[in-house]
Structure 1
């Protein structure tokens, strides 16, 4: 048996998608999105997508790079994924070691990786010197069988619903909303969105970002809340980010945005909706419970320190 790790090539897209879907069936990923992420990575991230091959067959992959949007220097990510049918043959360890060597060479001092509970991932992380930090819950909503809340008979005064597509000519207000919401998101690796051109390139133009199914709520003509939808163009829908600006929180606007987007996603033929929330983000977890989402798995972020 020969196990090797190398950089991703465009020809690997189909095989890597298969590995990712098998290892983490709660995300939305496509061949186009993989290639896009590699091609449009920010230079400061030093991003690499690694591929593990066992006797010529792709059995694992890892994303690694610097958390360049974090206010704390030295943060990095090194998460490996191995197909469940090929675990315990050394692919995960080789991927992780290669990822660590890469980020360490570029100044990382505290790499983070995610580990799915119940898959052996938590134990794997512990064996490699990582300690548990925050957790996040993957949730799924069956759009075929679960009823969604009916739209309100009338919106509150000044409140209107839009699609993100209405900002195609000038999406900067959505960038500014995303930046404020992201800054307040619970996380042990904070992110600061301060580069509009980078946001346009890697978020607004991302192939999974569905402008027509993303809902924006305005109050008196200004963006107040939004939910950003990511779709695979077939059956799977993912809430990429949902949030309300600080001045408008506590009014149910995030739930209004999500409900509107989900109803339109179901009408467009999507059958499964996924989302993930930090374990401490009780307001959004409560919104999702009311919408009918069910927790399907918990992922624990782990961290180690290079000495």
Structure 2
């Protein structure tokens, strides 16, 4: 066993080392130094966030981070993660980082901690770590995937014709412009998220932060992300937009992933959400093809059924763990 020390992160110098630890600790969702730096530079400064690194023989072997749960914010609720390089596990490094992060947020009056973990073999030590500290599994999210080469994309021709005949056009984000289109997307995104069964009370981001998080995300592929447009509609909030589906690209893992997919309530039942995903699949196939991953919460039966009909197959389950520090349940 080699001694280690804890220290604060120093960007940009530590970006490569942080990305390496995060990637080997979570190989299903690898990252890059560029993405680490982007997240650090575009984080909302109105929320608390702190990081700690574990260094051993001059090498970063652990990354711990914790901050306000910005997705469902309460000043006493925090979301965190501790990652240790597989080569350095079993030496108390994860415990030391956890204890330090816990100390920092308890000084701020933390009452609840949240994190998320998968069910793959490499996640088993993490699950045991959480349970030993009193974390309870509270919510499941399913990961599914398909490869465009395995899908008969012509089988959806009738669906695409039906949607077009209903007066809706599917336009990629790359095609959209105008002074209001970002604001329309922002309002649409918020309306759609109200109907996603997440088991959370959502916190709305300011428009400027939403643009940074979503439209300026370096992984977003605008040419693969589509919006359903009704040219006869002029809604004061969403303009002519009635639905959308976004696609990101993980440069470290070389796969695409679906962000948000949804349509307004009055447009449901017409196959629009499915058509948006088909449009993305066709665009990715035309660009060379590849794997697409998607994530859906367990109660979202409608989207899980739709994804299965498109060819997605379940690959993993991610569980949200929670720890009440005040003894409440």
Write out aligned runs for 1:8-157 (5 A). 8=9, 9-27=11-29, 29-70=31-72, 72-117=74-119, 118=121, 119-120=123-124, 121-148=126-153, 150-153=155-158, 154=161, 155-157=164-166
- State the superposition RMSD in angstroms: 2.4
Residue in structure 2 matched with residue 228 of structure 1 by the alignment: 246
Structure 2 CA distance for partners of 1:95 and 1:12, relative to 1, 3 Å: same
Structure showing greater Rg: 2
**TM value normalised by structure 2:** 0.83
Structure 2 residues not aligned, in runs of 5+: 234-239
Deviation at 1:290, TM superposition (A): 1.8
Structure 1 residues not aligned, in runs of 5+: none
Deviation at 1:195, TM superposition (A): 1.2
Residue in structure 1 matched with residue 313 of structure 2 by the alignment: 294
Distance (whole Å) between structure 2 residues aligned to residue 290 and residue 31 of structure 1 = 37
Distance (whole Å) between structure 1 residues aligned to residue 65 and residue 302 of structure 2 = 30
Deviation at 1:127, TM superposition (A): 0.5
Distance (whole Å) between structure 2 residues aligned to residue 83 and residue 149 of structure 1 = 45
Deviation at 1:77, TM superposition (A): 0.2
Structure 2 CA distance for partners of 1:288 and 1:16, relative to 1, 3 Å: farther
1:4-59 Cα offsets, whole Å, 9 max, x none, are 33333223333333333333333363322211111111122212344333333333
Distance (whole Å) between structure 2 residues aligned to residue 60 and residue 149 of structure 1 = 47
Residue in structure 2 matched with residue 4 of structure 1 by the alignment: 5
3-state secondary structure, aligned to 2:14: helix
Residue in structure 2 matched with residue 269 of structure 1 by the alignment: 288
Deviation at 1:281, TM superposition (A): 1.4
Deviation at 1:164, TM superposition (A): 1.4
3-state secondary structure, aligned to 1:288: helix
Deviation at 1:149, TM superposition (A): 5.7
Distance (whole Å) between structure 2 residues aligned to residue 21 and residue 106 of structure 1 = 30
2:44–2:209 Cα contact (<8 Å) kept? yes
Number of paired residues? 307
Deviation at 1:85, TM superposition (A): 4.2
2:80–2:114 Cα contact (<8 Å) kept? yes
User: Which is worse superposed, 140-149 or 28-37?
Assistant: 140-149
Distance (whole Å) between structure 1 residues aligned to residue 270 and residue 46 of structure 2 = 38
Residue in structure 2 matched with residue 167 of structure 1 by the alignment: 176
Deviation at 1:270, TM superposition (A): 4.7
1:247-286 Cα offsets, whole Å, 9 max, x none, are 2233322211111112212322352212211122111222
**TM value normalised by structure 1:** 0.89
Residue in structure 1 matched with residue 297 of structure 2 by the alignment: 278
User: Which is worse superposed, 248-257 or 146-155?
Assistant: 146-155
User: Which is worse superposed, 158-167 or 48-57?
Assistant: 48-57
* 1:252 matched to 2:263: no
* 1:243 matched to 2:234: no
Deviation at 1:229, TM superposition (A): 1.2
Distance (whole Å) between structure 1 residues aligned to residue 261 and residue 148 of structure 2 = 18
Distance (whole Å) between structure 2 residues aligned to residue 14 and residue 149 of structure 1 = 43
